[in-house]
């Protein structure tokens, strides 16, 4: 369900009861398009999240704490200057549109009380957060600067006057008459289809319009112009209940994912699993948390993925060229034979000869063959020319084999890094991978800030038998688990010839069969083959696993292993 004006009305109603009258204690900007205000209201402390994301714009009270950038953005600094210590006077909505105004009272530079308004516009790609000085309607700053070159309707820049979004000509669902509805429908000739209500009223999304049509038809009302009065009465009754605060914050989901949410039950989705929440903020956080997090992780890791893919292409091309060189070197022995045949017939060669007929005594049939000569060279020089070609190809072959082996190892390493990026579940894991790539020379070293970030820890699960299972989330963690953390009698697991995580079963001797199966599921799930079936997972004691000298992070060799085949899935295990 879209974050429409009606749902925003329910959230504004909730926020007024929760944080109106509170004071701003902190202002943070964890993302380039998201601001979090820490507000103390009474004895309770709330974090108000404001997002101007083009994909998931929203406003709600969050219980999730996000890491902040080491250097706060300029917009964050402006908000801290004017809002820290300010009292929240009011939260209001522009009619039933997707615009919220939050009024704060704070002391200005001259010591006088001033009112500042935070305008939160939840409008898809046009979403924005703007701080306005109320006495002269001046924009202090906004999270997205908008010039007339970017939008011919309005501009939002520091120092300019705040311009409201273009006014809608649609009817308000909270204050309309049947006559107005009749006139609007007749003038606009709006079609009576699933999008009727979103075309007539402000703040109504297409999914809600579809739900209202479903309810009308379920009540036996034919949806058409001839029944417009009945439609009007139904609509007025519905939105009167919403206006009076009769909300039911419901979430609808399948076994695979969340599908829809709203501030009222959606009867058209009664076949889906319904979960009712006590507040709109809890509902929003549940619905958007995973979707928003996945998208932001993807954006954060996009540069790394591009870097890895470029290097994978480079390795693939290098391997292809080297194999072509190996193929060409397969005929090196022909030059050696020609040189030896010329050596055996050197007494017959004269300077100036362009060719010579010789008997090929290396062939079983001993046929006569013609060998071309350079008539400007002596017999000895012609012989040496063929031996030089042989030696050159021999050295090229040896060097190519070594380079192919190194390139294949690099390709395997890069595939493992790409798998780790795809499996990353937090910003800290992305940062750890970035540090790994810096240490291995794929990213140019930059001087680190004095503020050191803590590296993320390997995942820790408890098997059904109560045994500790550890899973590396990147190659640095894989090395740590296998080479430093694990005891020599612990069990080590990894997908066979497939990039993935190292898994350690912390147990002396052979683990129980159920624990081994669960560990193998983890190894397959956190690998490149997580979407495959019958994935082979090798396991052996840690003492059988070794790291070759000079090998890249996470690259090991092992012996005396056994293999188990599993269908990848994340087992239901307790996670520490």
Q: Is residue 155 within 8 Å of residue 163, measured between CB atoms?
A: yes
Distances in Å between the alpha carbon of 21 and those of 15, 131, 191?
A: 11, 19, 45
Query: Among candidates 262, 237, 206, which has minimal Cα distance to 8?
Result: 262
Residue 318 phi, psi (nearest 5): -65, -45
Q: Is residue 52 within 8 Å of residue 34, measured between CB atoms?
A: yes
Tokens for 387?
């031996």
In the predicted structure, residue 2 carries a pLDDT above the cut 70: no
Say what the pLDDT of residue 8 is. Answer: 95
pLDDT tens profile 290-348: 666 666 677 778 888 999 999 999 999 999 999 999 999 998 999 999 999 999 999 89
- When the pLDDT of each residue in the chain is averaged and rounded to a whole number, the result is 90
Say what the pLDDT of residue 223 is. Answer: 84
Residue 536 phi, psi (nearest 5): -75, 130
Say what the pLDDT of residue 447 is. Answer: 59
Distance between CA atoms of residues 419 and 496, nearest Å: 15
Torsion of CA 564, 569, 573, 576, to 10 degrees: 100
Give ranges for CATH 2.30.310.10 in the chain: 5-142
Q: Is residue 143 within 8 Å of residue 33, measured between CB atoms?
A: yes
Tokens for 513?
């069969």
In the predicted structure, residue 508 carries a pLDDT above the cut 80: yes
Average pLDDT over every residue of 237-255: 91
SS3 state at 426: coil
Report for 100-114, 278-292, 417-431, 538-552: range of highest mean pLDDT? 538-552
Packing angle, helices 379-423 and 332-344, rounded to 10: 170
Q: Are strands 113-121 and 99-107 parallel, antiparallel or unpaired?
A: antiparallel
Q: Is residue 470 within 8 Å of residue 458, measured between CB atoms?
A: yes
Residue 567 phi, psi (nearest 5): -95, 115
| Sign of the dihedral defined by the CA atoms of residues 405, 410, 412, 413, in that order | positive
Residue 276 phi, psi (nearest 5): -100, 135
Distance between CA atoms of residues 402 and 549, nearest Å: 15
Distance between CA atoms of residues 450 and 429, nearest Å: 20
Distance between CA atoms of residues 341 and 9, nearest Å: 95
Tell me the pLDDT band of 456, cut-offs 50, 70 and 90.
confident
The DSSP line for 275-311 is EEESSHHHHHHHHHHHHHHHHHHHHHHHHHHHHHHHH
Q: Hey, how many other C-beta atoms are within 10 angstroms of the C-beta on 516?
A: 22
Tokens for 111?
């010591």
Say what the pLDDT of residue 69 is. Answer: 86
Say what the pLDDT of residue 282 is. Answer: 93
In the predicted structure, residue 448 carries a pLDDT above the cut 70: no
Provide the terminal-to-terminal Cα distance of the chain, rounded to the nearest Å. Answer: 34
Average pLDDT over every residue of 177-193: 90
Distance between CA atoms of residues 304 and 421, nearest Å: 8
pLDDT tens profile 467-503: 999 999 999 999 999 999 999 999 999 999 999 999 9
pLDDT tens profile 202-240: 999 999 999 999 999 898 888 888 888 999 999 999 999
Say what the pLDDT of residue 298 is. Answer: 74
Q: Report the CATH superfamily, name and number, of domain 5-142.
A: ibrinogen binding protein from staphylococcus aureus domain (2.30.310.10)
Distance between CA atoms of residues 224 and 114, nearest Å: 52
Name the residue with tokens 């004006």: 5
Sheet holding 459-462, edge to edge: 562-566, 535-541, 491-495, 503-506, 468-471, 459-462, 574-575
pLDDT tens profile 31-69: 899 999 999 998 899 999 999 988 889 999 998 888 888
What's this model's pTM, rounded to 2 decimal places?
A: 0.60
Distance between CA atoms of residues 491 and 373, nearest Å: 65
Which CB contacts under 8 angstroms, 24+ apart, belong to 382-390?
A: 382/342, 382/349, 383/339, 383/342, 383/343, 383/346, 384/339, 386/335, 386/336, 386/338, 386/339, 386/342, 387/335, 387/336, 387/339, 389/332, 389/335, 390/332, 390/333, 390/335, 390/336, 390/339
* HEC-encoded secondary structure of 38-67: EEEECCEEEEEEEECCCCCCEEEEECCCCC
């Amino acid at each position: 369900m879209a974050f429409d004006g009606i749902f925003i009305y329910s959230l504004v109603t909730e926020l007024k009861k929760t944080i109106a009258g509170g004071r701003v204690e902190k202002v943070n900007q964890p993302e380039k398009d998201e601001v979090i205000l820490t507000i103390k209201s009474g004895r309770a402390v709330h974090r108000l999240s404001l997002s101007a994301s083009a994909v998931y714009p929203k406003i709600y009270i969050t219980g999730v704490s996000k890491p902040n950038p080491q250097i706060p953005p300029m917009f964050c600094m402006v908000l801290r200057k004017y809002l820290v210590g300010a009292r929240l006077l009011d939260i209001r909505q522009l009619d039933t549109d997707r615009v919220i105004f939050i009024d704060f009272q704070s002391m200005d530079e001259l010591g006088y009380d001033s009112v500042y308004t935070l305008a939160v516009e939840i409008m898809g790609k046009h979403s924005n957060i703007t701080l306005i000085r109320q006495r002269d309607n001046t924009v202090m700053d906004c999270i997205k600067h908008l010039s007339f070159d970017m939008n011919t309707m309005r501009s939002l820049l520091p120092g300019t006057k705040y311009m409201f979004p273009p006014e809608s000509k649609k009817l308000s669902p909270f204050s309309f008459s049947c006559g107005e509805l009749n006139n609007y429908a007749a003038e606009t000739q709006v079609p009576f289809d699933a999008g009727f209500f979103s075309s007539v009223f402000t703040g109504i999304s297409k999914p809600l319009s579809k739900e209202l049509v479903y309810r009308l038809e379920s009540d036996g009302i034919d949806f058409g112009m001839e029944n417009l009065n009945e439609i009007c009465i139904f609509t007025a009754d519905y939105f009167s209940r919403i206006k009076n605060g009769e909300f039911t914050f419901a979430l609808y989901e399948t076994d695979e994912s969340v599908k829809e949410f709203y501030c009222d039950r959606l009867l058209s989705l009664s076949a889906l699993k319904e979960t009712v929440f006590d507040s709109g903020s809890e509902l929003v956080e549940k619905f958007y948390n995973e979707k928003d997090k996945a998208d932001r992780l993807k954006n954060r890791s996009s540069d790394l993925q591009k870097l890895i893919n470029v290097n994978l292409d480079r390795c693939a091309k290098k391997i292809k060229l080297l194999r072509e060189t190996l193929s060409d070197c397969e005929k090196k022995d022909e030059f050696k034979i020609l040189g030896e045949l010329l050596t055996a017939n050197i007494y017959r060669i004269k300077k100036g000869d362009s060719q010579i007929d010789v008997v090929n005594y290396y062939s079983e049939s001993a046929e006569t063959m013609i060998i071309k000569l350079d008539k400007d060279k002596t017999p000895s020089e012609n012989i040496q020319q063929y031996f030089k070609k042989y030696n050159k190809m021999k050295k090229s072959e040896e060097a190519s084999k070594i380079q192919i082996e190194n390139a294949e190892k690099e390709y395997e390493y890069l595939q493992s890094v790409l798998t780790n990026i795809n499996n990353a579940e937090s910003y800290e894991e992305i940062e750890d991978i970035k540090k790994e790539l810096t240490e291995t020379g794929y990213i140019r070293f930059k001087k680190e800030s004095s503020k050191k970030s803590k590296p993320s820890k390997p995942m820790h699960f408890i098997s059904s038998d109560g045994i500790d299972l550890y899973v590396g989330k990147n190659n640095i963690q894989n090395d740590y688990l296998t080479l430093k953390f694990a005891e020599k009698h612990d069990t080590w697991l990894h997908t066979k010839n497939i990039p993935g995580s190292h898994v350690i079963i912390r147990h002396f001797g052979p683990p129980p069969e159920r624990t081994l199966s669960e560990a193998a599921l983890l190894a397959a799930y956190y690998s490149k083959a997580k979407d495959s079936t019958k994935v082979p997972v090798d396991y052996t004691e840690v003492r059988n696993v070794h790291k070759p000298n000079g090998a890249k992070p996470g690259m090991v060799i092992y012996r005396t292993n056994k293999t188990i085949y599993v269908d990848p899935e994340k087992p239901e295990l307790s996670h520490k």
